[in-house]
Amino acid sequence: MSTVAYVLRCFRSAPTLLVPTDTSSSSRLCYSFSTISSSPSSFSCCCSSSSSSEKLNKFYPFLRMERFWTGGSIDKNKALVEHLKEYNVIKSKKVAEVMETIDRGLFVPDGNPPYVDSPMPIGYNATISAPHMHAACLELLEEHLQPGMCALDVGSGTGYLTACFAMMVGPQGRAVGIEHIPELVASSIENLNKSAAAPLLKDGSLLLHVADGRLGWPELAPYDAIHVGAAASEIPPSLLEQLKPGGRMVIPVGNFFQDLKVVDKNLDGSISVRNEASVRYVPLTSRAAQLQGYGA
């Protein structure tokens, strides 16, 4: 059975709920948006699956977990990872180890609670994704982040997920982050130098570049793993070209309604795409449009 994705994302200032989707069955759950309130019954959904009540019951603890975290009770990185494990968001031992090693607090700007399971603003109309989304993407890409492999992080922001990639592929691999806001690249280098990934930055196995993420980074292609941290209206052809046969890309696609897509390039070069979950990301766009608030 494929993983049931549990996704909570912020939509503007309020958390947005998306009901879990089980893509392993032809009898698929529908979902709808709702603002989280004090009661876990304050959302609506429509289900074609006979096991829908069981799936929703599994989701209720995740809602309670999110409300607990936003109450400010989690103040340590290890405690955050332990809660992600407790609620079955993190299943992989390797992902847990990496997220414990790379302290999220180093990558969230001052004034924001780093260990709350919610996206946080990082300036320039950008955000750092919620911890559960980082965990989900790391688990989806884990088999393509083995030691010695090559990974590309598009929209690397403050550098957190790029650091996690670098720790997973190790000094014999390569982790490349690309971000089109020069100030974010500069601050991410400062963040990385304070983190456990600093030696990898120093030896050149972790690289950061100012570039248009839609074009990828062809100089070090092909990549075993590609992660895109902003929603594209369609999968960028350049990123497909730079994905290695046997590799995997995780990318949100859509405008208002978005799906987190898992894109596998088969060994014969053919492409397989599946939807993992419904999500809400900032758009993948030009630097000028982003700085203008996506209005152009």
Residue 255 — φ and ψ, nearest 5°? -105, -95
Say if residues 31 and 52 touch (Cβ distance below 8 Å).
Answer: no
The catalytic residue among 118, 129, 156, 205 is 129
- The answer to whether 34 is a known catalytic residue is no
Say if residues 36 and 17 touch (Cβ distance below 8 Å).
Answer: yes
For the chain, what's the residue count?
A: 296
Strand-pair partners of 124:
none
Q: CB neighbours of 172 closer than 8 A, spacing ≥ 6?
A: 147, 148, 205
> Omega into 252 within 30° of 0, i.e. cis?
no
> Would the CA dihedral through 185, 187, 190, 191 be positive or negative?
negative
CA distance 153 to 177: 5
User: 235, exposed or middle or buried, with CB in 10 Å at 0-12, 13-18, 19+?
Assistant: middle
Region of residue 252 (left: phi > 0; alpha: psi -120 to 50; beta: else)? beta
Say if residues 151 and 227 touch (Cβ distance below 8 Å).
Answer: yes
DSSP 232: B
Q: CB neighbours of 210 closer than 8 A, spacing ≥ 6?
A: 178, 179, 180, 181, 182, 185
Tally of CB atoms within 10 A around 155: 24
CA distance 293 to 296: 8
Just list the catalytic residues: 129
